[in-house]
Amino acid sequence: MAANPKTERRRVRCVINGREIDVWEGYRLWDAALDANARLWKWCGGEGLCATCAVVPVSGGENLSAPTKTENFSLALWFAKPLALVRRRWKGRGVRLACQSYVRGPVEVVGVLGKAGRTAREAAGIE
């Protein structure tokens, strides 16, 4: 008997800060980053409050779930906080919070903060 394609979940490839991992469709990007040891920052523990897990999609950004209200609120604050001038360069680049994003298909992202993110951004030609 053939599996029902509507209910069949599939494995999808995630690349986070250059670290590759296959996860089940619907898996949280933040958890994939932890599993892949991608070294994303995560000050609030994945609650959507600190925005330190911010990532920029390199490819497949459309394969992430739609932003949550929490994500939209946190990113709006993040761009408005002190040092927002530093963050302005990320505006319009589809910044997402890994802890609020769920994987629907193959995706590659790089972290906005941290040494691992900087190295991955340089490798991807994003600055």
- Contacting positions for ligand FES (CB under 6 A): 42-44, 46-53, 74, 97, 99
Nearer to ligand FES, 36 or 50 (CB): 50
Phi/psi for 41 (5° steps) reads -70, 155
Nearer to ligand FES, 42 or 118 (CB): 42
Nearer to ligand FES, 21 or 75 (CB): 75
Angle at 52 between CA 51 and CA 54, to 5 degrees: 70
Closest contact distance (angstroms) between CB of 10 and ligand FES is: 25
- SS3 of 49, please? coil
Closest contact distance (angstroms) between CB of 17 and ligand FES is: 15
Closest contact distance (angstroms) between CB of 1 and ligand FES is: 41
Helix (H) or strand (E) holding 59: strand 54-59
Q: What is the DSSP string of 11-29?
A: EEEEEETTEEEEEETT-BH
